[in-house]
Amino acid sequence: MNRKRRLVGQAILAALAFPSSTVVLAADTGPIKIGLILPMTGQSASTGRQIDAAVKLWVAQNGNKIAGRTVEVILKDDGAVPDATKRIAQELIVSDKVAVIAGFGITPTALATAPLATQSKTPLVVMAAATSSITEASPFIVRTSFTLPQVTISIADWAAKNKIKKVITLVADYGPGFDAEKFFDSQFRLNGGQILDKLRTPLRAPDFAPVLQKVSDAKPDALFVFLPSGQGAAFMKQFAERGLDKSGIRLIATGDVTDDDQLNDMGDVALGVVNSHHYSAAHPSPTNKKFVEAFQAANKGMRPNFMAVGGYDGMRVIYKALEATKGEGGEKLLAAMKGQVFESPRGPVLIDAQTRDIVQDVYIRKVERVPAMNNGLYNVEFDVIKAVKDPGKAK
């Protein structure tokens, strides 16, 4: 019996030691809190890392005072588990009384939290997740990342205009993959192209041998690929290993496959891949150059990728909105976020007032070695489609 007695005592003490928090904040003079929920552990940990670094950079560059009050960013790890995200968001809203919640590494975490944003009238800024339907899940959601359909139709358009008639699509077997497949398919066929086959690979432990075999059997003009960012390198290696790169089949993709975070380590197999995305670390604007330099200086040479820029711009949107409302939250804060137009490291950006989604330029890039930048591999932009609205919604 003794062991149980001790355990019970310990458990009760532990539970009671938890401070029950009904923190009362003076509404106008206390700190302004921003809840940042990111996957710092687990599969999407690199997303969390990039955004966290970008947020810290923004605060370092822009200070932590708005309208005379201190801004506090509360970072919490959700491990990309949606019910954890929801619970953390709830606590941030109810106990910490944050003015805005931001982050959201993958789609289900944003969708799970959407009803909370509506219920508590707290603006929710999506800095990473990319499914179209997210902004429709709550009128309080604003996005600063991108949507997969946005970048997919761009490459479909480019392909159709560049002598590519027959394509096989290959996507990972999960939500974003299906989105990419759907939009590439409809856009490409709209332009008169032909989809020979639609292939899928499992999300976990993929072996590309069987699908690549099918591709080489069917001999399309190009292979369109969408894979989550860790798998790009393995895929391209196997593509090259089977001699497919020499067989005249072009490789086109969305920029997730040539993620700046990993691109340099992929080696020469990545050269020549034409892809579309909204941000490249090699984007030749002064704003971007400054951003990349500052980011690398603060993070041991780590290159910022599209996740980081989503976080950086998210902070910009939040800060400017807070300045406009002098620190007030709720619907006023949301209104101040809508319609913001600014120059981001990626290019010009607009937060659409109707859909609350991001409207941005999508670039067509090719992977090349850039001598001026340490001879590293970069996505070099050679074409742009301006002000792309998310087609998933554009009605």
In the window 86-105, what residues touch another protein (CB under 8 A)?
86-87, 90-91, 93-95
DSSP assignment of 327-393, as one string? T--HHHHHHHHTT-EEEETTEEEEE-TTT--EEEEEEEEEEEEEGGGTTEEEEEEEEEEEEEPPTTT
Residues 43/136/76/261 CA torsion (nearest 10 deg): 40
Site for another protein in 7-36 (CB under 8 A): 7-8, 10-12, 14-16, 18, 20-22
Nearer to another protein, 82 or 348 (CB): 82
Closest distance to another protein from the beta carbon of 238 (Å): 8
Nearer to another protein, 98 or 349 (CB): 98
Nearer to another protein, 110 or 364 (CB): 110
Binding of residue 234 to another protein (CB under 8 A) = yes
Binding of residue 330 to another protein (CB under 8 A) = no
Nearer to another protein, 137 or 155 (CB): 137
Closest distance to another protein from the beta carbon of 32 (Å): 21
Nearer to another protein, 136 or 368 (CB): 136
Kindly tell me which residue out of 34, 73, 101, 114 binds another protein, with binding defined by CB under 8 A.
114
* CA pair distance 283, 387, nearest whole angstrom: 16
3-state secondary structure of 226: strand
199 phi and psi angles, rounded to 5 deg: -105, 155
For 62, residues 6+ apart whose C-beta sits below 8 A from its C-beta are: 315, 319
114 phi and psi angles, rounded to 5 deg: -50, -50
Q: What angle do CA 288, 336, 73 make, to 5 degrees?
A: 65
Kindly tell me which residue out of 162, 216, 287, 296 binds another protein, with binding defined by CB under 8 A.
216
Closest distance to another protein from the beta carbon of 82 (Å): 5
Contact letters for another protein, residues 148-187 (x by CB under 8 A): -------------------------xxxx-x---------
Nearer to another protein, 122 or 280 (CB): 122
Binding of residue 296 to another protein (CB under 8 A) = no
* CA pair distance 357, 134, nearest whole angstrom: 9
Binding of residue 339 to another protein (CB under 8 A) = no
What's the full length of the chain, in residues?
395
Binding of residue 221 to another protein (CB under 8 A) = no
* CA pair distance 305, 252, nearest whole angstrom: 19
CA-based end-to-end distance of the chain: 68
* CA pair distance 133, 128, nearest whole angstrom: 14
Closest distance to another protein from the beta carbon of 15 (Å): 6
Binding of residue 338 to another protein (CB under 8 A) = no
Tokens of 154: 């761009």
Binding of residue 372 to another protein (CB under 8 A) = no
Q: What angle do CA 64, 70, 71 make, to 5 degrees?
A: 60
213 burial level (CB within 10 Å; 0-12, 13-18, 19+): exposed
Nearer to another protein, 348 or 376 (CB): 376
DSSP letter at 207 equals -
Nearer to another protein, 106 or 167 (CB): 106
Please tell me the count of residues contacting another protein according to CB under 8 A. Answer: 80
Contact letters for another protein, residues 40-79 (x by CB under 8 A): xx-x-xx------------------------------x--
* CA pair distance 7, 301, nearest whole angstrom: 49
Closest distance to another protein from the beta carbon of 284 (Å): 26
Binding of residue 294 to another protein (CB under 8 A) = no
Nearer to another protein, 170 or 351 (CB): 170
Q: Any idea which residue has 């809508």 for tokens? A: 338
